[in-house]
Amino acid sequence: MSLALAEDTHAIDARAVIHRLEEAGAALLALPGSGWSTRLRTSSLEIVRTAIESYGWSTNHIRPPVPSPARITQMDEAMGWISLIPGDRYVLRRIVGARSLVHPITGRHLFPWRRIAGAIGADHKAVQRWHAQGIELIVTQLNKRPVVSA
């Protein structure tokens, strides 16, 4: 999916940036968590596995589909936009980054406004304003880039 561009000005708007960041956050959370784990694999023991199966204690989690390579590329691009916020405005980076994480199945934000506010010790309305400022900084930087025709 390409960025939503205004037809007359070819400018990227805040809604398109927020949408792309939320899509990127959902893709990021849909990636499988693979690799080595420090967690003890007790279910590999025969007696534990038998007990789990006998009593119906299986934990079947609904997993979102693994994102396609194209979606992962779009995710990388959109998450890179957060670095367009200047480094000295790291609180804005944290707010925009946290707010972009959306659960891939439910579509709900992992960090509601009040939870972000509690984490940084601010009012939730101030966090909303700072998020808007961070998005505006990204939009400004993206609109400064030269237009690439496909």
Q: What is the pLDDT of residue 12?
A: 87
Q: What is the pLDDT of residue 53?
A: 63
Q: Tell me the percentage of the chain whose pLDDT exceeds 90.
A: 63
**pLDDT of res. 51:** 60
Supply angle C-alpha 94, 69, 28, rounded to 5: 25
Paired tokens of 78? 């959109």
pLDDT at 5 over 90: no
More confident residue, 61 or 3: 61
**Cα distance between residue 49 and residue 58, in whole Å:** 9
Beta bridge partners of 109: 102
Across residues 87-95, what is the average pLDDT? 95
Q: What's the average model confidence in pLDDT over 95-120?
A: 94
pLDDT band at 50 (very low <50, low <70, confident <90, very high): low
**The pLDDT of residue 83 is above 70:** yes
* Predicted pLDDT at 94: 95
Q: What is the 3-state secondary structure (H, E, C) of 54-88?
A: HHCCCCCCCCCCCCCHHHHHHHHHHHHHHHHCCHH
47 pLDDT higher than 90: no
Contacts of 19 (CB under 8 A, 6+ apart): 4
Rounded mean pLDDT of 105-117?
94
Percent of the chain residues topping a pLDDT of 70 = 72
* Residue 141's pLDDT band (cuts 50, 70, 90): very high
Which is higher by pLDDT, 73 or 40?
Answer: 73
